[in-house]
Amino acid sequence: MSPAGAPNRLEVGRLEVDVRQKSFAAASGGKLDVIGGLAFSLGNGEVAALVGPSGCGKTTLLRIIAGLDRDYDGSITLPDHGRLGVVFQEPRLLPWRTLEQNIRLAAPAANDATLDALFRTLGLDAHRHLFPGELSLGLARRAALARAFAIEPDLLLLDEPFVSLDDALAMRLRDELAELVTRRPVTTLLVTHNVEEAIGLADRLFFLSASPARVIAEIPITRPREKRTAEELAALRAEVARQLVAS
C-alpha cells in the first residue's frame, strides 16, 4: 500500500482482472457457467489479445471490464481515471448523427487538431459529414475506432473489431490500429478468435478454453510489433499451435 496522496508510479495505467465466476440463468432453469476463473493483469501501454473459440465468454468478460455487467464474482481494477474507449463488435454509431457528430458526442473534450489527425490516419476525412447509413461496414468500423481513440482512453477494449470484413481490408485496419497504439500508447485488450490478428497486434496472448472460460496458455511477444518479420510471425504461429496442442 502506498501512502495516501502518493500514487505508485509503477501502477499507473495498470489493469487488474480477476473474475472468479460468472454465470447466467439458463432458459431451462439452473445456471450456465460462462467464466470459471480468469485472472490476469496488464501493464501500462501493454496490448494483450484474448484468443478463444466463439461463445467462450470473451464478450461477457469485456462487458464486465467495461462496467456494463456487475453481476459476477471477483474484482476489476481499471487504470488511472478509468476512461474507457470501447470498440464493440458492431459499430454502434447513432444513425441520426453524422460520423463527426457521433465522435464529438462521445468525446466532447477532443480538440479539432486531434480529430483531424485521427480522421486522416483512418482515411475518414472525406466522410465526416455522412450519416452512418451511408457508410460501408469498413468505414463504420473505422468510425468506431476513431470514437474510441478520440476520448484518449486509459484503457482500450476491442471486441472482434474486424470481424466480417474481407481479409485485405481487415489487414489494412489492423495496420492503422497498430499505428494508433504506437503513436499514443494505451493499455489495450483485444478480443478475437483470429490468431493472425492477435500475433500481429499484441504484446501478450492469452488463450482461453471453451466455456466456462479460463486461461489455458499465455504467450508473451517481446519483439515490438512494427519490427516483427514474416519469419518471426511464422515461428509465433508454430509456437501457438504447439501450446494449444499441449494444453
Question: What does the binding site for another protein look like in residue numbers (CB under 8 A)?
Answer: 63, 66-68, 83-84, 86, 88, 90, 92, 94-97, 105-108, 131, 133-134, 147, 151
To the nearest whole angstrom, how small is the minimum distance from the Cβ of residue 42 to another protein?
A: 18
For another protein, the closer of residues 51 and 103 by Cβ is 103
For another protein, the closer of residues 14 and 63 by Cβ is 63
- Report the distance separating Cα 149 and Cα 153, nearest Å: 7
To the nearest whole angstrom, how small is the minimum distance from the Cβ of residue 143 to another protein?
A: 12
To the nearest whole angstrom, how small is the minimum distance from the Cβ of residue 79 to another protein?
A: 15
For another protein, the closer of residues 186 and 240 by Cβ is 186
For another protein, the closer of residues 49 and 148 by Cβ is 148
- Report the distance separating Cα 130 and Cα 145, nearest Å: 16
To the nearest whole angstrom, how small is the minimum distance from the Cβ of residue 137 to another protein?
A: 15
To the nearest whole angstrom, how small is the minimum distance from the Cβ of residue 106 to another protein?
A: 4
Number of Cβ within a 10 Å radius of residue 211: 19
Place of cell 494508433: 180
To the nearest whole angstrom, how small is the minimum distance from the Cβ of residue 84 to another protein?
A: 5
For another protein, the closer of residues 92 and 183 by Cβ is 92
For another protein, the closer of residues 92 and 242 by Cβ is 92
Distance of CA 225 to the CA centre of its chain: 16
Number of Cβ within a 10 Å radius of residue 210: 13
